[in-house]
């Protein structure tokens, strides 16, 4: 597949994978993207996961049309993009591996001291291939320390490493935004400040095409995609709405959460409801960041919070959750404590506004709890 006349797509789809990074569900698989720039000299842009090494090497050979690659540019050392490095070097021993100092520090931890033909670049350095020139734009901690983008000057193409990536194989027909959002917040989300820094660098470039390491090549309406990344990395709510996440054992806390959801929807509020024991946790994290309000409903369990709720809150904390309104619903047959404990977790987060209304259920939902649910729905709908 040609991106332009001289830039070819040589990546692969993986539909055999069940969990990305060993934890994120990918029902539609994932793509490992790799590209080739064909000029007086040939540059291959990144490799692929070891699961697809042979298929990728076949794609490389076909795209070369009998030639030999001069360079392999490594923009990210995470194994889903670098695991085929050694196989590539064995097949094309004359090729020079291009990376920065941190690239090779990490690469040697994976493969040992095997990099004899290497070209170490610094931020802003350029590599001339002929009519095409690559300019290297360092993007540390988006989301590993060695990450760098490559900007091709003549065709104005940004090879963006994991930035602007998404879950899903390329032959899967699905909306970019949803799976790109889930990908961003669960994988890159912690590093909003560094993403903001890289976006400022990118703003100085005239970009016509974005080639990420996962997901489709982006060549239209780039302001939309860049705008999404700007909102996400600023930790600002993307939409108005309420994410309601609950942890229930015998169904009473679930009933309270569902009652709240119905009352909010009756008031015209967008609601995203999650049973944390059964949902894809990554989707719950995604929507917690998407909407401007969050409600957590948990039983009191061994004097603490239900473990799945504790896990969810920990995920939000790790990803730097902030700038939201948060409310609590607690349940406890003799000593409800979960509300107080959940709130304590959020008090350490930035710019969190707490709802005044708190719902307390003592075993089953009764009249007083229903009144509290109505009060909370009213407050959140304003």
CATH number where 274 lies: 3.40.50.360
Is the domain of 222 the same as that of 347?
no
CA 244 from chain centre, in angstroms, equals: 21
Residues 248 and 367 in one domain: yes
Number of domains the chain is built from? 2
The whole domain housing 276 covers: 242-377
Report the CATH number that the domain containing residue 56 is assigned in CATH: 3.60.15.10
Whether residue 117 is found in the same domain as residue 202: yes
DSSP string of 195-252? HHHHHHHHHTS--SEEE-SSS--B-S-HHHHHHHHHHHHTT--SEEEEEEEEE-SSSH
In a domain, 2, yes or no: no
Residue 333 has pLDDT above 90, yes or no: no
Q: What span, in angstroms and rounded, lies between the C-alpha atoms of 299 and 337?
A: 8
In-domain check, residue 38:
yes
The alpha carbon dihedral of 105, 111, 112, 116 has a sign of: negative
Helices marked H in 146-186 — which ranges?
176-183
Considering the domain boundaries, does residue 152 fall inside one?
yes
Predicted local confidence at residue 335, as pLDDT: 83
Residues 322 and 182 in one domain: no
What pLDDT does residue 1 have? Answer: 83
* Residue 353 is assigned to a structural domain of this protein: yes
Query: Are 316 and 168 in the same domain?
Result: no
Q: In this structure, are 250 and 227 located in the same domain?
A: no
Asked if the model's pLDDT at residue 334 lies above 90, the reply is no
Question: Could you read off the pLDDT of 218-266 as tens digits, one per residue?
Answer: 999 999 999 999 999 999 999 999 999 999 999 999 999 999 999 999 9
Task: Report whether pLDDT(9) > 90.
Answer: yes
Give the pLDDT confidence of 148-192 residue by residue, as tens digits.
Answer: 999 999 999 999 999 999 999 999 989 999 999 999 999 999 999
Q: For residue 76, what is the DSSP state?
A: -
Same domain, 140 and 179: yes
User: Considering 233, 265, 284, which residue would you say is the last residue of a domain?
Assistant: 233
Last residue of a domain, which of 200, 233, 266? 233
Same domain, residue pair 120 and 203: yes
Q: Are residues 219 and 309 in the same domain?
A: no
Cα dihedral sign, 236-238-241-247: negative
**What is the per-residue pLDDT across 77-108, written as a single tens digit (0 to 9) for each?**
999 999 999 999 999 999 999 999 999 999 99
Residue 382 lies in a domain: no
The domain boundary residue, chosen from 209, 233, 257:
233
Are 45 and 101 in a shared domain? yes
For the cut 90, the answer to whether the pLDDT of residue 75 exceeds it is yes
C-alpha 120/C-alpha 138 separation (Å) is 13
Do 156 and 304 share a structural domain? no
Average pLDDT over residues 274-283: 97
Q: Same domain for 290 and 227?
A: no
């Amino acid at each position: 597949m040609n991106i332009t006349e001289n830039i070819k797509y040589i990546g692969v789809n993986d539909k055999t994978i069940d969990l990305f990074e060993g934890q994120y569900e990918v029902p539609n698989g994932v793509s490992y993207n790799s590209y080739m720039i064909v000029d007086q000299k040939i540059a291959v842009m990144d490799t692929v996961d070891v699961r697809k090494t042979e298929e990728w090497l076949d794609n490389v050979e076909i795209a070369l049309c009998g030639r030999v690659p001069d360079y392999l540019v490594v923009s990210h050392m995470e194994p889903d993009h670098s695991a085929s490095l050694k196989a590539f070097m064995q097949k094309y021993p004359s090729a020079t591996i291009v990376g920065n100092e941190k690239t090779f520090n990490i690469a040697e931890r994976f493969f040992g001291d095997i990099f004899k033909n290497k070209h170490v670049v610094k931020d802003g350095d350029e590599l001339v291939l002929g009519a095409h020139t690559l300019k290297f734009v360092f993007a540390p901690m988006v989301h590993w320390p060695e990450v760098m983008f490559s900007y091709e000057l003549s065709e104005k193409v940004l090879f963006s490493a994991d930035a602007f990536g998404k879950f899903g194989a390329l032959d899967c027909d699905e909306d970019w935004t949803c799976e790109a959002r889930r990908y961003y917040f669960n994988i890159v989300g912690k590093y909003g400040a560094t993403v903001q820094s890289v976006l400022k660098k990118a703003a100085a470039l005239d970009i016509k095409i974005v080639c990420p390491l996962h997901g489709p090549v982006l060549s239209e309406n780039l302001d939309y995609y860049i705008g999404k990344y700007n909102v996400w990395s600023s930790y600002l709510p993307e939409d108005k709405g309420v994410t309601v996440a609950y942890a229930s054992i015998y169904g009473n806390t679930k009933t309270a959460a569902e009652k709240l959801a119905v009352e909010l929807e009756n008031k015209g509020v967008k609601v995203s409801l999650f049973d944390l024991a059964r949902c894809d946790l990554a989707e719950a994290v995604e929507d917690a960041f998407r909407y401007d309000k969050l409600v957590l409903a948990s039983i009191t369990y061994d004097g603490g919070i239900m473990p799945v709720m504790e896990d969810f809150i920990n995920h939000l904390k790790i990803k730097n959750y902030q700038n939201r309104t948060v409310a609590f619903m607690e349940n406890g047959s003799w000593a409800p404590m979960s509300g107080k404990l959940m709130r304590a977790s959020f008090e350490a987060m930035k710019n969190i506004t707490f709802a005044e209304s708190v719902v307390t259920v003592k075993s089953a939902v009764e009249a007083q709890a229903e009144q509290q649910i109505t009060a909370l729905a009213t407050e959140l709908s304003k």
